[in-house]
Structure 1
Amino acid sequence: MSLRATPPKLLGMTTSTSSRVRARALMGFADLVNQCGGDPSDLLHELNISPALLEQPDASLEHAQVVRLFERAAERLEVSDFGLQLAQIQDTDALGPVAVIALNAACVGEALDAIHRHMAYISTSAEAVIDPDARPSQAALFYSLNLPIDIPHRQKSELSYAIALRLLRLLAPEQDSTDWEVHFKHEQGLPLDEYRQRLGCRVKLGQKAEGLYFPRELLDQTINTADPVLAGEVEPYVSHIVRRFPLDLAMQVRTLLEQQLVSGNCTLPRIAQQLMMSPRTLQRRLKQQGSSFDEIADTLRRERAEDLLRNSNKPLESVWGLIGYTEASTFNRACRRWFGQTPLAFRKALRNTGGASLVS
């Protein structure tokens, strides 16, 4: 068992909204909204989320969009426990095949560690970490969305911890969970006795860090129904999905381009082949994430060109070669588009301003 002890204070919100999550996070959303008398399509369109994603669980969208969607739904429908109700629909299915790996681990600690290891399947920045020594005789599961602090996230947090509780009870059905404790950051929510009734354990609001606390001995609890063979079969499948349907495909493309830019052969077909998909599929999936191959390559070349022109004395012939161009005319046209002037004029201007960037 390999548990990662991370203090909750390190799991604070970041300032980035670029985190992505699988569309599986929308499971049950339309059904619940309909049950509450709302129109799921209207809510999805308000947050610029395509309704088609409801049928594409392995597609991705911005995590912040999902968080805002759940908050908007709770407000519009006047359903303050929207996240808790959605948790009853999603259950552990929200974790997809990662739940299968966890449920078939040798013990509870290994199950939680498996979820931590496979978070790349679920989200690009959310974290689920276990601290076996969170409090005397208690361990804790800390799940952090890692989104800007100004994005309200009560519904998503309550949804996530309700699912975590459900998973732990499935892993150790004979354990008494009434003395477990869930901490939430939000100060306003349901009455505490209602939380206890709904979640089956104690709840504290207005805490510095969110987490689920339980007896440390639970980590060593054997999972009697585990099937190690099944877990071993599912692990490669999850890795395959992460590779074929990456949450942040644009970053994977950029990384491959960075490694091979100098070769001058960083074409769409070549990169698509390395990602084991057709050029058409790569373009389609990049478009779904609001990007394109040409956009990524152009941005990378612009950044490299500006850095080389500012910080090196390399001749211009070397500069355009280092960013993957084979002709001076192509480089000159690109610099006029990027910087509004020729590469030579741009280099001189940078030196006249002490190297400060001249472009936004």
Structure 2
Amino acid sequence: MESVVRAAGLRGLPALVDSLGGDGAELLARFGVTCAAVESDDAVIPSAAAGLLLEVAAAELGCPDLGLRLAGLQNASVLGPLALAIENSATFGEALEITRRFLFVHSPALTVSQIPDPSGRPGVTGLLYRGTDAEPLPPQVADVGLGLFHRIIVLLHGGPYGLRSVHLPHAALAPVEAYTRFFGAEVRFGRPDAVLRVPAGLASMPVRGGNQVLRDIALDYITSHFPAPGQSVADRVHLLLARSLGSAPVEVAAIARMLRTHPRTLQRRLAAEGSTFDAILDDVRRAAAYRLVTQTDLPFTQVTAMVGLTEQSALSRAVRRWYGVTPRQLRSTAAVRSR
């Protein structure tokens, strides 16, 4: 199956092409892309076409730093619904994890991850941006993608974030000064991967203005509307229940609505995977209860509500069924082990 990317990844390109003396709309049309698609949050285009379009534009316009220029015009909004979750994360580490898990919403051909520092320096970590083995990043795509990655971090941080250096897998497409001016750091070319080398402590830094409620709304929307490639129905139900527990109804009808299906259809699909809604709910409650009982000092009445039960006696019965002890005994045992 041909890989796709959101057309919004080209947002800003038509105007940039026009400013360089070309015809942005005509260039897009040659590759079957419309200006309306680029401004849409929903339209997708073949990944290969997007990459070729950028390479052709850079060559025809005599603008080898086209990818960097385009990245400078963009922000997280080109990622569609993923942007809201990223911008409202509590920390950069959380924003990176959300991006790692859900970048497939923008394009299944792209991945990001945190890796050990390629240069082996203490206190430094690498942020890797790459395509799949089947679809390595074309040079202009590497520039615009890593450039946007860097720009989003700058915008979330409110300024420079301590970038140590940048690795790119291709030779310099433009004068090196264009790269160092854009990134504000040394750029090394011909490396195995596209990487931002950043302070290891960046992950724990707070995101300015992050709002947990908005983040949760965005993640609920993403998980219910964009199943990960290969993700089972049981996995999706598990994730939605874990996010809803204690704050929203946990009935099968409520989860079915989130998945835009009928409750009976949901139950049939779970049965086909050898699971049931009740079994998944019990598993989610067990994990949440264990964490809240053993890792916090919350009153058991509050724990009861947070795992979606209505009476403390129900929590006691469930914990005894799961672990063979009362909640108080489970907490005491965990406290002894941690000493």
TM-score interval w.r.t. the shorter chain?
A: 0.5 to 0.7
Alpha-carbon shift at residue 66 of structure 1 (Å)? 0.5
Where 1:67 maps in the other structure, the secondary structure is: helix
Quick check: 1:227 aligned with 2:211? yes
Distance 1:65 1:229 in 2: 37
Where 1:87 maps in the other structure, the secondary structure is: helix
1:91-117 per-residue CA deviation (whole Å, 9 max, x = no partner) reads 222222322212221211111111111
Change (3 A) 1:140 1:155: same
Letter in 2 for 1:19: S
Asked whether the equivalents of residues 139 and 213 of structure 1 are also in contact (C-alpha less than 8 Å), the reply is yes
Where 2:48 maps in the other structure, the secondary structure is: helix
Q: Partner of 1:142 in structure 2?
A: 128
1:239-274 per-residue CA deviation (whole Å, 9 max, x = no partner) reads 34426xx9x9xx99xx99xxxxxxxxxxxxxxxxxx
Asked whether the equivalents of residues 64 and 147 of structure 1 are also in contact (C-alpha less than 8 Å), the reply is no
Kindly report structure 1 stretches of 4+ aligned residues shifted beyond 6 Å.
none
Change (3 A) 1:18 1:147: farther
Quick check: 1:76 aligned with 2:80? no
Letter in 2 for 1:167: I
Distance 1:164 1:152 in 2: 14
Asked whether the equivalents of residues 108 and 223 of structure 1 are also in contact (C-alpha less than 8 Å), the reply is yes
Specify every segment of 5 or more residues in structure 2 that has no aligned partner in the other structure, as ranges. Answer: 234-258, 262-339
TM-score, length basis structure 2: 0.62
Change (3 A) 1:156 1:97: same
Quick check: 1:110 aligned with 2:94? yes
Q: Partner of 2:108 in structure 1?
A: 124
Cα root mean square deviation, aligned: 3.0
Distance 1:165 1:35 in 2: 24
Identity of aligned residues (%): 28
Asked whether the equivalents of residues 18 and 24 of structure 2 are also in contact (C-alpha less than 8 Å), the reply is yes
**1:42-121 map, 5 Å:** 42-121=26-105
Counterpart among 129, 138, 145 of residue 160 in structure 1: 145
Q: Which has the higher contact order (CA 8 A, sep 6+)?
A: 1
Distance 1:118 1:46 in 2: 30
Q: Partner of 2:180 in structure 1?
A: 196
Alpha-carbon shift at residue 181 of structure 1 (Å)? 1.2
Change (3 A) 1:105 1:276: closer
Alpha-carbon shift at residue 226 of structure 1 (Å)? 1.5
Counterpart among 196, 208, 226 of residue 242 in structure 1: 226
Alpha-carbon shift at residue 152 of structure 1 (Å)? 6.9
Distance 2:67 2:20 in 1: 13
TM-score, length basis structure 1: 0.58
Alpha-carbon shift at residue 121 of structure 1 (Å)? 0.9
